[in-house]
Each structure stands twice: as structure tokens, then as C-alpha cells.
Structure 1
Amino acid sequence: MKNKKILIVEDEQIIAENLRLILNEYGYNFVDVAMDVEETEAFFKNTSYDLVLMDINLGETSIIDGIDLIKILLQEHSFVYIYVTANADKKTIDKAKKTSPVGYIIKPFIKTSIYANVEMALSTLNKQQVFNHSYKGRKQQILISDIAYIAADGAYIKIITLDNKTHFSRKSLLDFYDEFPEMFIRVHKSNLINKHHLQSYSSQIVKVNNEDIPLGRMYKQNFLDQIKDLSFL
């Protein structure tokens, strides 16, 4: 796991460098540091990270906090993340837990706490749910967390991933939903969406991965019920 790519997002340089040194000491050598939202987005344009250590308070000049930044990044990227923060109040923790982090470290921290949380977080990468199937003799494996939405297409379903690639499968929408009910919402007779990649919605449309998908009238109430506890921009 020492070859995993880690990004530290921390607006205080001394803390950021301390985290980097701790990770280097434990053998993690691919570690980048971003000081703000713009640097974070720039790093993600060039690198696919396995783990992000995210500060929640990104400074007085930042218009969003680290939790909101995580939600933005997850719309286009797949990674695990740990919050590293001085915020231990109930309101912040309640907001953070809605994004399902794999860890929450309170500052000031000790290096063994960083090591333990990072090791546990990276171990989950090997346990992520995958969808295995064959299409025209080719075996394919897709991370469930990378799926944006699924659309019925005659005898097949089209699986659209966050990188806008389309995969085909003979599995039905219903079979797929039954296998992964905690991840997907039926929004139309022909569409399932990954609820963790929901960007916005209106009375007739949901937006996922920058695509407008129809929200069927008979599916609307169930959709609203399932997104009650979600927090997104």
C-alpha cells in the first residue's frame, strides 16, 4: 500500500508539512500538498489520488469548507478520505458524517493516529464493491463507486462511469438495483442513478455527472425520501 497516492489539503503550511513528513516516515512517498480549493482541483486534473487528508476549515478567504470540497471532488473522482480538523462540535461532525469519510482525526494529532487511520483507510480500497460482467466475450470489472448512472437500452443496460465511458451489460435495471440497493435510486423506468453523484434536481430532472436525467412522476416520492439525508451542493 506504500505506493498509494495521497493528497493533503491543509491551509496551514506547518501542519501540512508535518503531515507530509509523518507519511514519508511511514513509507508513503507519493504525497502532494494543496493549500486551497484551487490547488486541490489543479492537482486532481493531473493525478488520480487514492486517499485525501482533508482539513475542514480551509481559511477565512475560502468560500467553501473541506466537506463541501469533498462533495465536489466526488462528483468526478473516486477516492477515500479522512478529515483532519480542529472542529469537534456536533454540527460539524453531523455534516461530515453524511459524506461517509473513512476517518476523522482531531487536531492536535499524534503521528501514530495518522498512521493508523491512513492504514485503515487504504485497506478499504481493496474491499470496494465491484461489478464483474462479460460483454461480447470481454470480461469487465467496474468499481460501483465509479458508476454515475445506468440506462436501459433494449436488451442491455448502459453503465456510464464518471469518466464518461459507456459499458454494456445484459443485466436488467431491476437486477442491478437489487444487487446494490444502498448505492442507487430508481428515478425513471429506464434509469438508475448513483445517489452519491447527484449534483442537483428539479421537479422533472436530476443532474448526475453533468447529464440531465428525467425524474419520472411515479418515482419522485421515493427519490425524495432517499435523498433526505444526503448533503450536496
Structure 2
Amino acid sequence: MSKVKLAIVEDEILVARDLSHRLINMGYDIIGNFQTYDEALAFVQTSAASIDLFIIDIELNGEFKGIDLAQEIKSHHNFPFIFLTSHSKNDVVERAKQTGPSAYLIKPFREKEIQIAIDLAIQNYGDAITNNDTEGKTAPATFMINDSFFIKKKFKYEKVRVEDILFAEAQRNYTLIKTEKDSYLLSQTLKVIVEKLTQPYFVQSHRSYLLNLLHITAFEGNRIFYNDLEVPVSKNYREMVFNRFQTL
């Protein structure tokens, strides 16, 4: 599991410090803390791929507001954002809605409210990018943002970087994702996971297994090893798997 990486733009210094402190204590990684639109925009333009979630104060000092930053993110980047606000003026709220925030956080806030907002943002954003209509259904517990899975575990979304996956194993209508330190059971079939993991270092070795070639430590006959873990290579997939060894 990797830490979820958050950035914040908030021009009230005490509020920003309080929010950062709470988020760090909750296990999140703060990779940017900004007071102005210009600072935050520069960071987004150079570091968008490293951002999992942005918390944005709607009203910032200066010509450009948090809503303007949100519009930039919405138009050009692939991560969710939460609006942070202390008021509910109709004109501001209506303009904010047009940018499609994934959640709202109202000042003053408590840690429980922060966690709910973050989980809701990830879930709402995941629904939107997968075009998944969840009305009348149980919302799916797994989403992809950039190159990471966000997996619901013990009432909280955990981040699993795609590159950290050792292998995926089919288990009926579920898929077991194995990393070096943990395992995650996804409520999606292996076929769906194969369609998502299109990176060149993934290859199917068996109808029930998808491998990450970058983490393989040894192979022998029809077996692949990740240290002490063993994964089979079936006859139908053997040539494709070992040809991929040569290309990498």
C-alpha cells in the first residue's frame, strides 16, 4: 500500500496548517501546500501525475479563485478535487457546481468529516471516469486514478500503485491482487482487471493469472517465482510469457 498523496490550496495559514496536520495524522501524504492560485497552478502543471487528490478553497485572495483552479484541473488533468468552503452564497455555489467537484468540505471541520469527504471524492470520481451507474446498486469498492488502484478496505480507500502489483489471481467473480506487503480482494473479474492493466510489463501466464514481469525473481519450467510465491505458466501462455522476457 502507498500513501494517498494530497495537495492543498488554502490562503488562511492557520486553517491550512490545521488541515495538513490532521491529514498527516490520518496517514495521508501532503505533497503540496499553497496559498495562491498561481502557486497551485504551477504545481499542477508540473506534478499532476503525482497528485491523487486536491483540496481547494473556493475563495482565494487575488484575481483568480479556487474555482478557476478547479476548472483547469477538470479540463486538463486526471484526479479528483474537493472544495473547501466556509459559506454557501448561491452565486458561488452555482459556479462551483459547474466545475464538477467530487466532494465538499465545510469549515470548520472534524477528522471524521475530512475522511468522509476524501472517501466520497474518490468514489464519486471513480464512478464518473468509469461511467458506472450505481443508482440502485452497491457502489463498487475499487477505482483507478492515474496509475493506481484505490481499494476500499476497512471502511477506507487504500492506494495501490499498479507498478507495485506482483500478480493478479482469478477467484471466481473476484480477483486477488498481490503486492509484496499485502493482498486485496477486488469485486471484479480477472478479465476486467486485464483490460485495465495494459502496461507492457503485465502478461497473462494462465487463464487465472496476470503477472508483473518486473518483480519476477526466478523461473523454472512452467513456474514463475516472486521470492517464495509461486505462480503457474500454462501451456497455452508459455510462449507468450517467455517471449516477453526477451523483449524486456
TM value normalised by structure 2? 0.48
Aligned-partner Cα distance in 2 for 1:31–1:22: 14
Aligned-partner Cα distance in 1 for 2:84–2:117: 10
Superposed, 1:11-90 pairs within 5 Å as 11-48=11-48, 49-59=51-61, 62-90=62-90
Partner of 1:107: 107
Task: Kindly indicate whether structure 1 or structure 2 has the higher relative contact order, using CA contacts under 8 Å at least 6 residues apart.
Answer: 1
Partner of 2:119: 119
C-alpha distance 130-123 of structure 1, shift in aligned 2 (>3 A): closer
Q: Which runs of 5+ in 1 are unaligned?
A: 132-142, 146-233
Aligned-partner Cα distance in 2 for 1:65–1:71: 10
Aligned-partner Cα distance in 1 for 2:38–2:120: 28
Partner of 1:188: none
How many residue pairs were aligned?
132
8 Å CA contact 1:2, 1:28 repeated in 2: no
> How high is the sequence identity, in percent, across the aligned residues?
30
Aligned-partner Cα distance in 2 for 1:41–1:32: 11
8 Å CA contact 2:58, 2:65 repeated in 1: yes
Aligned-partner Cα distance in 1 for 2:74–2:91: 22
TM value normalised by structure 1? 0.51
C-alpha distance 51-72 of structure 1, shift in aligned 2 (>3 A): same
| Bigger radius of gyration | 2
AA at the equivalent of 1:72: E
**Structure 1 SS opposite 2:20:** helix
8 Å CA contact 1:56, 1:87 repeated in 2: no
Partner of 1:134: none
Superposed, 1:196-207 pairs within 5 Å as none
AA at the equivalent of 2:59: N
8 Å CA contact 2:74, 2:99 repeated in 1: no
Superposed, 1:147-186 pairs within 5 Å as none
The Cα RMSD (Å) is 2.6
Aligned-partner Cα distance in 2 for 1:69–1:127: 22
Aligned-partner Cα distance in 2 for 1:74–1:98: 10
Aligned-partner Cα distance in 2 for 1:90–1:128: 25
Aligned-partner Cα distance in 1 for 2:115–2:78: 22
Aligned-partner Cα distance in 1 for 2:75–2:109: 30
- How many Å apart are 1:10 and its aligned residue? 0.4
- How many Å apart are 1:120 and its aligned residue? 1.9
Aligned-partner Cα distance in 2 for 1:75–1:124: 17
AA at the equivalent of 1:9: V
8 Å CA contact 1:54, 1:83 repeated in 2: yes
Aligned-partner Cα distance in 1 for 2:4–2:127: 15
**CA displacement 1:6-56 (0-9 Å, x = unmatched):** 110101111111111111111102442111012102211332212111101
**CA displacement 1:119-172 (0-9 Å, x = unmatched):** 2212345445359xxxxxxxxxxx9x9xxxxxxxxxxxxxxxxxxxxxxxxxxx
Partner of 2:129: 129
8 Å CA contact 1:51, 1:79 repeated in 2: yes
Partner of 2:6: 6
Superposed, 1:180-219 pairs within 5 Å as none
Aligned-partner Cα distance in 1 for 2:2–2:107: 24
Partner of 1:216: none
